[in-house]
């Protein structure tokens, strides 16, 4: 089985980008170890204790953020990072070619119940003006040079795209290396599975309610087939399932709070997942436009997300047509 760096070289990925992806793989191993230790973290210690002295008792999402920042900002190729855990960007090498946005530990409420969580990342080119401020990150997702996630589950997996399809690597714990386990991920066009937080039903737009209600009617309704539902409550794990066997995942507009009608973040949740899904033959949309076409106006901007199997997302978009917000 192929290792990470030879696989990237085979694909003729730029050496600087290989180096950044390698830094992320080092973070992945360290976070994976700590997530696996759970409440034991800090008792058995870890290789990076010197870098983050005194911080072993911190919550795992805060710790993951610190590890990613420490390791990525050591790289001469990283100009700046943006993180869900940081209000502003953190700058690094003045001449670094890349910007990295990340959600250090997506689905972190799953930590308490020993369920799946992950790190989501997006790599953008440093723009020509190299302004050094947050505006550098305000690029549409189509500009991403690489994007992916690390899933901490029964197996730790690194899943990413550099624009040449989607590859999945599995961490071989015996040698501490990521090995290629799926070289070309393809999302089936059709599906009988969807993922949505059903408890928000009453808060959705009527068009979204109608779409989901028709799925629930199954064989007896207009869709003429039965659908199953899954909700892991960590986007990283729900999207991983969609990449593995198809499905539709959505976190749509909901009217609970008008100041916060969307849940998921564009830069380090929507965009990286959208690039993976498109590269695997699926659709990633807000209900109004392809996620990758959005011009961001804030590094922590939130959006509506509908992604997955091509024909099913298209069916959902048909229901939403004409609605002002999805």
Query: Out of 147, 171, 234, 307, which residue is the one contacting ligand F6P (CB under 6 A)?
Result: 234
CB closer to ligand F6P, 225 vs 256:
256
**Residues from 101 through 120 that contact Mn ion (CB under 5 A):** 103, 106
With CB under 5 A, what is the number of residues at the site for Mn ion?
2
16, interface contact from ligand F6P, Mn ion, none, CB < 5-8 Å by kind: none
User: Considering the complex, what minimum distance in angstroms separates the CB of residue 53 from ligand F6P?
Assistant: 29
The closest of 36, 70, 77, 78 to 53, measured between CA atoms, is 70
User: Considering the complex, what minimum distance in angstroms separates the CB of residue 108 from Mn ion?
Assistant: 8
CB closer to ligand F6P, 7 vs 156:
156
CB closer to Mn ion, 106 vs 254:
106
The verdict on whether residue 189 carries a ligand-binding annotation is no
CB closer to ligand F6P, 113 vs 128:
113
The verdict on whether residue 30 carries a ligand-binding annotation is no
Please tell me whether residue 238 binds Mn ion under the rule CB under 5 A: no
Please tell me whether residue 240 binds ligand F6P under the rule CB under 6 A: no
User: Considering the complex, what minimum distance in angstroms separates the CB of residue 307 from ligand F6P?
Assistant: 12
User: Considering the complex, what minimum distance in angstroms separates the CB of residue 233 from Mn ion?
Assistant: 10
Contact footprint for ligand F6P (CB under 6 A): 106-107, 197, 233-235, 251, 263
């Amino acid at each position: 089985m192929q290792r990470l760096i030879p696989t990237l070289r085979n694909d003729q990925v730029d050496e600087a980008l290989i180096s950044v992806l390698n830094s992320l793989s080092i973070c992945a191993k360290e976070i994976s170890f700590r997530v696996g230790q759970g409440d034991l973290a800090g008792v058995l210690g870890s290789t990076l204790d010197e870098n983050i002295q005194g911080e072993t008792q911190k919550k795992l999402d805060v710790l993951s953020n610190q590890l990613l920042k420490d390791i990525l900002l050591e790289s001469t190729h990283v100009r700046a990072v943006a993180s869900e855990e940081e209000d502003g960007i953190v700058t690094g090498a003045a001449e670094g070619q890349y910007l990295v946005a990340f959600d250090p530990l997506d689905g972190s409420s799953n930590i308490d119940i020993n369920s799946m969580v992950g790190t989501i990342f997006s790599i953008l080119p440093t723009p020509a003006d190299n302004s050094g401020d947050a505006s550098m990150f305000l690029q549409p997702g189509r500009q991403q040079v690489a994007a992916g996630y690390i899933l901490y589950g029964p197996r730790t997996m690194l899943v990413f795209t550099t624009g040449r399809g989607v590859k999945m690597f599995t961490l071989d714990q015996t040698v501490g290396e990521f090995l290629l386990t799926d070289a070309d991920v393809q999302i089936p066009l059709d599906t009988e599975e969807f993922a949505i937080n059903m408890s928000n039903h009453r808060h959705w737009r009527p068009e979204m309610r109608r779409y989901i209600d028709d799925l629930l009617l199954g064989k007896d309704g207009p869709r003429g087939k039965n659908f199953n539902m899954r909700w892991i409550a960590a986007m990283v794990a729900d999207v991983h399932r969609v990449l593995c066997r198809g499905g539709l995942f959505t976190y749509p507009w909901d009217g609970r709070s008008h100041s916060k009608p969307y849940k998921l973040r564009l830069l380090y949740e929507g965009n990286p997942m959208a690039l993976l899904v498109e590269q695997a033959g699926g659709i990633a949309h807000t209900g109004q436009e392809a996620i990758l076409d959005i011009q961001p106006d804030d590094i922590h901007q939130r959006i509506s997300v509908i992604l997955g199997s091509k024909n099913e997302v298209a069916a959902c978009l048909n229901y939403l047509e004409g609605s002002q917000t999805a």
